């Protein structure tokens, strides 16, 4: 129990005092994808960007993929010019950690279709954004401002047959922003498994 409290406190202290905030410029980052290519937020200036924190061993993440919902969202929005970056911040030895080859194999197995899967084993990108759960979703507009931060939808579930009952916040944010409207729900409390940073227990 004491170890768990210590780990949680360490995790809280490790997060920056000013992580990503809706309405502010999204934190700059650079990360390597599973094919060895570098991606930086700045290279996607002028495009909408979705960041999806993932962990294939988390039952909440599995529900999204087993239902086909996450893949459908990726395909729909990348076809409309959105950059969709899946980010893996699980540390080595922790739940959900994947090598590049393992993540590529899983992407193929579930027919996922992000723009790229970014490996973040040190948790640098995750901590810059204050990513707390898997999934945890962020939407960035073409000017580089964060316009959504939170849960993928309004229906926390680990049952893939339950996912279609949900109202999707990411779809709302992108649809409203692309229509020139303000995002009505710009922040929600994310749900899922905790991101397994090096300071976070299993």
Return the structure tokens found at 117.
């899967």
Q: Is residue 79 part of a domain?
A: yes
Q: Is residue 131 part of a domain?
A: yes
Q: What is the pLDDT of residue 20?
A: 77
Q: In whole angstroms, how far apart are CA 52 and each of 9, 13, 179?
A: 25, 23, 22
Q: Is residue 144 part of a domain?
A: yes
Nearest to 135 by CA among 187, 30, 63: 63
Q: In whole angstroms, how far apart are CA 154 and each of 88, 106, 165, 172, 184?
A: 23, 26, 9, 12, 14
Q: Is the per-residue pLDDT at 2 higher than 90?
A: no
Q: What gap in Å lies between CA 195 and CA 148, rounded to an integer?
A: 19
Residue 35's CATH number? 3.40.30.10
CB neighbours of 25 closer than 8 A, spacing ≥ 6? Answer: 144, 145, 146
Q: Is the peptide bond before 135 cis (omega within 30 degrees of 0)?
A: yes
Q: Is residue 201 part of a domain?
A: no
Domain count, the chain: 1
Q: Is residue 202 part of a domain?
A: no
Give the pLDDT confidence of 61-105 residue by residue, as tens digits: 999 999 999 999 999 999 999 999 999 999 999 999 999 999 999
Q: Is the separation of the CB atoms in 78 and 113 below 8 Å? A: yes
Partners of residue 133 on adjacent β-strands? 194
Q: In whole angstroms, how far apart are CA 190 and each of 73, 159, 180?
A: 18, 17, 25
Q: Is the separation of the CB atoms in 149 and 22 below 8 Å? A: yes
Q: Is residue 199 part of a domain?
A: no
Query: For 24, phi and psi rounded to 5 degrees?
Result: -105, 165
Q: Is the separation of the CB atoms in 163 and 67 below 8 Å? A: yes
Higher-pLDDT residue of 55 and 10 is: 55
Give the pLDDT confidence of 14-70 residue by residue, as tens digits: 444 446 789 999 999 999 999 999 999 999 999 999 999 999 999 999 999 999 999
Q: Is residue 117 part of a domain?
A: yes
Q: What is the pLDDT of residue 12?
A: 38
Rg for the chain, CA atoms, rounded: 16
Q: What gap in Å lies between CA 100 and CA 121, rounded to an integer?
A: 11
Residue 24 structural domain: 2-194
Q: Is residue 170 part of a domain?
A: yes
Q: Is the per-residue pLDDT at 6 higher than 90?
A: no
Nearest to 98 by CA among 7, 181, 106: 106
Give the pLDDT confidence of 109-145 residue by residue, as tens digits: 999 999 999 999 999 999 999 999 999 999 999 999 9
């Amino acid at each position: 129990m004491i170890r768990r409290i210590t780990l949680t406190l360490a995790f809280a202290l490790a997060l920056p005092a000013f992580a990503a905030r809706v309405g502010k410029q999204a934190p700059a980052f650079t990360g390597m994808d599973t094919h060895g290519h570098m991606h930086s937020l700045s290279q996607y200036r002028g495009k909408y960007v979705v960041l999806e924190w993932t962990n294939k061993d988390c039952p909440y993440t599995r529900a999204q993929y087993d239902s086909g919902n996450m893949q459908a969202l990726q395909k729909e929005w990348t076809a409309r010019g959105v950059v969709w970056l899946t980010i893996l911040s699980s540390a080595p030895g922790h739940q959900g950690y994947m090598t590049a080859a393992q993540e590529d194999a899983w992407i193929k197995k579930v027919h996922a279709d992000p723009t790229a899967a970014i490996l973040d084993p040190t948790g640098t990108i995750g901590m810059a954004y204050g990513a707390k759960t898997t999934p945890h979703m962020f939407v960035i507009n073409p000017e580089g401002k964060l316009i959504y931060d939170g849960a993928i939808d309004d229906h926390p579930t680990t049952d893939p047959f339950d996912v279609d009952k949900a109202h999707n916040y990411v779809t709302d944010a992108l649809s409203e922003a692309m229509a020139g409207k303000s995002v009505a729900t710009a922040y929600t409390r994310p749900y899922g498994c905790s991101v397994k940073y090096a300071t976070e227990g299993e």
